[in-house]
Structure 1
Amino acid sequence: MSHDMSEEKLPEHRGSEGHEVAVHDDPFADPGLPPHEVRRTDIDERAAKRAERQVALLFTVSMLATIGFIASYVVFPIDQIVFIWPFGHVSSLNFALGTTLGAALFCIGAGAVHWARTLMSDVEVADERHPIEAPEDVRAKVISDFKAGAEESGFGRRKLLRNTLIGSMALVPLSGVVLLRDLGPLPEKKLEHTGWDAATPAKPIKLVSMNTDEPLKAEDVTVGSLVFAKPQGLSEASEGFQQAIAKDAVMLVRIAPEDIKDRPSREMGFDGILAFSKICTHVGCPISLYEQQTHHVLCPCHQSTFDLSDGARVIFGPAGHPLPQLKIKTDADGNLIATGDFNAPVGPSYWERA
């Protein structure tokens, strides 16, 4: 039995609106877009306002959570352990930081999703693919579509959403700024003061030999020698000795007074004895190489060279500042004493230092 295949009727099914639609056997046929379903917020302004308030609430909670993150960092001690069910014993600080930061990020994401699903346009539009380099008419269309999308999003019209979103997004980065506090303790004024800071003309501090722990007298420092000293009372058994000696270490040299070129430096010394910081102003290496004929002292790390007869100014190398000097004199017993702190911050340069 023969018949014309072109007249064979294709199977039919009813479409979403009751029309009969032919079903093709081609698996690659364009199925088209499903019919658009109108949302309640599209037709009910009260529902739209309610959704707007919900999104704004999420953004507001995000802002409060960020503030809570910062407050938790200040309030909770780092070593406080508490029991929280079902987690058990945990650090109160870590738990508070994790909870508040998680809530801040979650509320921003949830608010953005809720905004997109309830208030932004959800009409699907098919567009043909085009070459990467778009012609002028396509560029104009993209700009037009962008403006239309911005208008449909309600970003400019719904000020409550816009302002709360901007607020939550502006506050969240502060969490990261607060975490920078964990990079180490704040220096405060510690870089500007050393153990010699307690010395005053009325209550001076004796200079003690690094090797013997005995007070140094003026006659102990001979011309051409290099002697290392520290403040009296600072010993290896002292708490924080390594941190203190890293700033308090002093080197003493004796130069014929007529060979000292820098007058302020000469006035800070005693009878040709000058006291300078032992810490290089480049990266903080200890200085120990002294050339008595030229009065130059050399840092062994990067070869920064300082002229001790000229205020310890830098004459070679990467150091950017002279070595700080300590004002000294002698007491009634002939002991070398300091009457104040160094005349400049000790150690490597930093941005506040001129």
Structure 2
Amino acid sequence: MFTVSMLATIAFIAAFVAIPVDKSVYIFPLGHISALNFALGMTLGIALFCIGAGAVHWARTLMSDVEIADERHPIEAEPEVREKVFADFQQGAKESALGRRKLIRNTMFGALTLVPLSGVVLLRDLGPLPEDKLRHTLWSKGKLLVNMNTNEPLRPSDVAVGSLTFAKPEGLEEHDHEFQNEIAKAALMIVRIQPENIKDKRELEWSHEGIVAYSKICTHVGCPISLYEQQTHHVLCPCHQSTFDLSDGARVIFGPAGHALPQLRIGVNDEGYLEALGDFDEPVGPAFWERG
């Protein structure tokens, strides 16, 4: 049974690798079911069942079932008690036949060693490693800032003082397969502030004529920021009221957010359109620093 368990574990791994995810099989009376799920369930079930059944069969047929009653004794064992325990252990080990029956012992150890590999193999379904994908967005040098509402590239004259404009990178369309994943990192909000009202030196350097571009993704739990107060230059996240000062490096002035909004450095190309001068200088979104 232990040997069958090892073979079933190997069959589990083979099924995981060889059977396509979309392949189905007809089994009466269940009908059409996933061939991969059926194979994984059967092989893993057999592997676990054979370990348990083999251990029970071994205990019932080969090991001694004589019950021994012992009187209570003080917590501090006497020398003769320790000798008795040691003798009982040796007798039990002898009666279990663990030392003499090497086939049972070795196959049991083999089954117990192999069966956890099923869980290790399933970790592959967690998907590919993120590597450094969280540190980058679609923004890069020369990418035009495209208005989310009109789908047209933005000129400085399109951004009025006191207005809040949302933008996306050039080339990202809503019908794209990866649109939701990419816009969740690249969504941009743009405001125009009088240059003399910008308090942060780097923010002023990364702006164009007072037009500043910041990530729209709140650094608390990733909600899209959409509320702008013209007089104070504050933006408010509607989910948990985290408030950021866009005139002072988008630092947090209220709420649970722990980090300022990342800024995108922008300029104007030869045709007069706003363009990115690179990617965000730090990863966007919530909890990144806690993850690594």
TM-score, reference length from structure 1:
0.68
Residue correspondence of structure 1 range 1-354 to structure 2 within 5 A: 58-82=1-25, 89-122=32-65, 124-125=66-67, 127=69, 134-136=72-74, 145=88, 148-155=91-98, 161-179=104-122, 185-186=127-128, 188-189=130-131, 190-196=133-139, 199=140, 201=141, 204-350=142-288, 353-354=291-292
How far residue 94 of structure 1 moved from its aligned partner, in angstroms, is 1.2
- Kindly tell me: are residues 60 and 328 of structure 1, through their superposed partners in 2, closer, same or farther at Cα, counting changes over 3 Å? farther
Q: Which consecutive residues of structure 1, in runs of 5 or more, have no partner in the other structure?
A: 1-57
**Secondary structure in 2 aligned to 1:103?**
helix
Say whether the 8 Å CA contact 1:321–1:349 is kept in structure 2. no
- Kindly tell me: are residues 156 and 272 of structure 1, through their superposed partners in 2, closer, same or farther at Cα, counting changes over 3 Å? farther
How far residue 79 of structure 1 moved from its aligned partner, in angstroms, is 0.6
Percent identity reads 64
**Secondary structure in 2 aligned to 1:98?**
helix
- Kindly tell me: are residues 301 and 117 of structure 1, through their superposed partners in 2, closer, same or farther at Cα, counting changes over 3 Å? same
Deviates more, 1:138-147 or 1:96-105: 138-147
Q: Which consecutive residues of structure 2, in runs of 5 or more, have no partner in the other structure?
A: none
- Kindly tell me: are residues 331 and 106 of structure 1, through their superposed partners in 2, closer, same or farther at Cα, counting changes over 3 Å? same
How far residue 90 of structure 1 moved from its aligned partner, in angstroms, is 3.7
Distance 1:67 1:278 in 2: 49
Distance 2:260 2:176 in 1: 30
Deviates more, 1:339-348 or 1:103-112: 339-348
**Secondary structure in 2 aligned to 1:205?**
coil
Distance 1:270 1:110 in 2: 74
How far residue 301 of structure 1 moved from its aligned partner, in angstroms, is 0.8
How far residue 88 of structure 1 moved from its aligned partner, in angstroms, is 6.3
How many residues were matched structurally? Answer: 286
Residues 206-257 of structure 1: CA deviation (Å, up to 9, x unaligned):
1111221111111222333221111223333444433333222110122233
Say whether the 8 Å CA contact 1:72–1:96 is kept in structure 2. yes
Which amino acid is the alignment partner of residue 134 of structure 2? L
Distance 1:194 1:137 in 2: 66
- Kindly tell me: are residues 137 and 294 of structure 1, through their superposed partners in 2, closer, same or farther at Cα, counting changes over 3 Å? closer
- Kindly tell me: are residues 228 and 87 of structure 1, through their superposed partners in 2, closer, same or farther at Cα, counting changes over 3 Å? closer
TM-score, reference length from structure 2:
0.80
Deviates more, 1:264-273 or 1:224-233: 264-273
Distance 1:157 1:266 in 2: 81
**Secondary structure in 1 aligned to 2:247?**
helix
Distance 1:138 1:106 in 2: 41
- Kindly tell me: are residues 155 and 137 of structure 1, through their superposed partners in 2, closer, same or farther at Cα, counting changes over 3 Å? farther
Bigger relative contact order, structure 1 or 2 (CA pairs below 8 A, ≥6 apart): 2
Say whether the 8 Å CA contact 1:207–1:338 is kept in structure 2. yes
Say whether the 8 Å CA contact 1:104–1:172 is kept in structure 2. yes
Distance 1:207 1:237 in 2: 18
Deviates more, 1:259-268 or 1:228-237: 259-268
